[in-house]
Amino acid sequence: MKLHTNLNRVIGIRSQMLYGHFIEHFHRQIYGGVYDPGSPLADEDGFRTDVIEAMKKIKVPILRWPGGCFVSSYHWKAAVGKERQPFFDKAWRVEDPNTFGTDEYIRLCRKIGCEPYICTNAGTGTAEEMSDWVEYCNLREEGRYARWRIANGYEEPHKVRYWSIGNENYGYWEIGAKPSGEWGRLVKESAKMIKHVDPTTELSAAALTDIHWNLELLEESGDFLDWISIHEYWDGIHQTNDYADYEQVMAYTHDIGHSIREVRGLLEALKLEKKIRIAFDEWNLRGWYHPNVHTVRQGITKEEYLYPRDKNDDNTEYTMADAVFTACFLNELNRNCDIVGMANFAPIVNTRGCIFTHSEGIVLRSTYHVFDLYVNYLGDVVLDTWSEEMPTLEVTSKKGEKLVIDALDLVVTKWSDRPGIALAVVNKDPDRTHSITLPLEVSGSRVMKYTVRGNSIESYNDVDHEEVRIEKTEPGMYEEGMEIMLEAHSINVIQIV
């Protein structure tokens, strides 16, 4: 494939928040994941130091919490201070120990060095409860909630800038789900109260790609919003856990950016694209496995809805399919960085996350190395590119559709603070090596290639088993028209510096 680019045709400077993450009170993400006071690997605050270090290495820029479905019946006031009781989490139908609340979450964010991003309860919660939360976190000492924070030992405000009003309140599965008209009004009233407490906050609201829902939401509350929140899990295996295989996953990469395109179109039609940005604040190839949890079938047992959740933590299932897909979506986020300002991989620890914890340490799954590659080796200025002679791949989707897709997926970047360019090029082909002819007019001489791949499409990482990592090679000095080989099922960052 011949690649063309123009160093002066800039799509945008991508926010580092495109590489954000999400953590929820679900299964072992918090308890037994990042927060494990009983572990010998925990620090004085109960956080797993190995997990913190792994999160710092991929420079987690923002961490969304506490949910997800969990938040739609969560009351933050019961989870601060010294007098706390375990509570029954009605979303996931399990007792929450309630030892991890707002103050512990802020401590976690400070240790990682990331922005907090709190999703509020718009299910059973109220505009007042949400704005009280902002008082607790952001007012210095005015009013009972800021004084409560001080009494709990936090003299300085938590300075939470990013807040989401609700989580998927459009969905039948969500506690406190609402029709669009009611939703727009609740968002407006909640946003009004939050902004009255702290006008420096940036607010998002739960939305989706449905034009009618979003139209009503934005007409009612667009003036109060800075973000619109959308989610996507392509392999929807919440009930079945029947993983799409490599070929089926490649089919998911076809039109991978449709949600962004649809929401962008609506924002532009409403002339809001300069005011409201997209927060893709939950995404992952794989839906989380939690069968039967949203059903109300009489007499359903924990064997049917609770115990199967352990199957999310089978590391052998997170292969090059997950890594290749993740890279393709990160490319799509970069290509749309003019309107997508935040994205949160869901989740970061355990379940479908890129970091798995066990009693003696952690496993960095294949997707972790993709984040490492993009965060640490790619530029921040995204350039316009076009290509000739793109190789193709014939695949069959999980639904049996036959598709012809591009075999390569790429984005070209440069740095805002130094010369050179960096290309992220994904070879989706399971079997064939492909080549790319580098663009002309590039300042830089040395070519270095950083590649994430395993021996096969089924390669994975597990305890005492590492197949997928970043490998560095140096193809040599740059020459115009230089050809670089891309191995099958690989994710590559090629730097010309």
For the annotated catalytic residues, the residue numbers are 168, 282
Closest CA to 267 of 311, 302, 217: 217
Q: Which of 67, 101, 123, 291 binds ligand AHR (CB under 6 A)?
A: 67
Does 24 engage in binding with ligand AHR (CB under 6 A)? yes
The H or E element spanning position 200 is: none
Q: Taking contact as CB under 6 A, which single stretch among the options 45-53, 192-200, 210-218, 281-289 is the one that binds ligand AHR?
A: 281-289
Looking at the Cβ atoms of 167 and 427, the one nearer to ligand AHR is 167
Please, which residue, 346 or 447, has the CB nearer to ligand AHR? 346
Residue nearest to ligand AHR (CB): 68
Closer Cβ to ligand AHR, 39 or 180, answer by number: 180
Give the residue with the Cβ less far from ligand AHR, 237 or 407: 237
Is residue 282 part of the contact set for ligand AHR (CB under 6 A)?
A: yes
CB of 287 to ligand AHR, least distance (A): 6
Is there binding between residue 68 and ligand AHR (CB under 6 A)?
yes
Provide the mask over 403-442, with x wherever binding to ligand AHR is found by CB under 6 A and - wherever it is not. Answer: ----------------------------------------
Pick the piece of the chain touching ligand AHR (CB under 6 A) from 62-70, 110-118, 192-200, 323-331: 62-70
Among 34, 52, 69, 422, binds ligand AHR (CB under 6 A): 69
Taking CB under 6 A as the criterion, the residue among 35, 288, 329, 460 binding ligand AHR is: 288
Phi–psi pair at 16, nearest 5 degrees: -65, -15
Question: How would you class 117 by CB atoms within 10 Å of its CB: exposed for 0-12, middle for 13-18, buried for 19 or more?
Answer: buried
Distance from chain centroid for Cα 259: 15
Q: Concatenated DSSP letters for 423-444?
A: EEEEE--SS--EEEEPPSS---
DSSP 162: E
- Alpha helices for 88-245 (secondary structure H): 102-112, 127-138, 143-151, 180-197, 211-221
Between the alpha carbon of residue 397 and those of residues 248, 249, 318, the distances in Å are: 5, 7, 19
Which of residues 138 and 344 has its CB atom nearest to ligand AHR in the complex?
344
167 makes contact with ligand AHR (CB under 6 A): yes
* Residue 67 or 379 with smaller CB distance to ligand AHR: 67
Residues 212-271 that bind ligand AHR (CB under 6 A): 231, 238
Q: Does 332 bind ligand AHR (CB under 6 A)?
A: no
Closest Cα to residue 124, out of 65, 196, 186, 202? Answer: 186
In 3D, which of 19, 17, 23 has the Cα closest to residue 357? 23
Quote the DSSP letter at residue 208: -
Element (H, E) at 403: strand 402-406
266 alpha-carbon distance from chain centroid: 22
| Bridge partners (DSSP) listed for residue 286 | 235
CB of 24 to ligand AHR, least distance (A): 6
Give the footprint of ligand AHR on residues 356-395 (CB under 6 A).
none
- Please name every residue paired with 495 in a beta bridge, in sequence order, or none if there are none: 422, 448
> Are 25 and 92 in contact, with CB atoms under 8 Å apart?
yes
User: Could you tell me the smallest distance in angstroms from the CB atom of residue 187 to ligand AHR?
Assistant: 17
Binding stretches for ligand AHR (CB under 6 A): 24, 67-69, 167-168, 231, 238, 282, 287-288
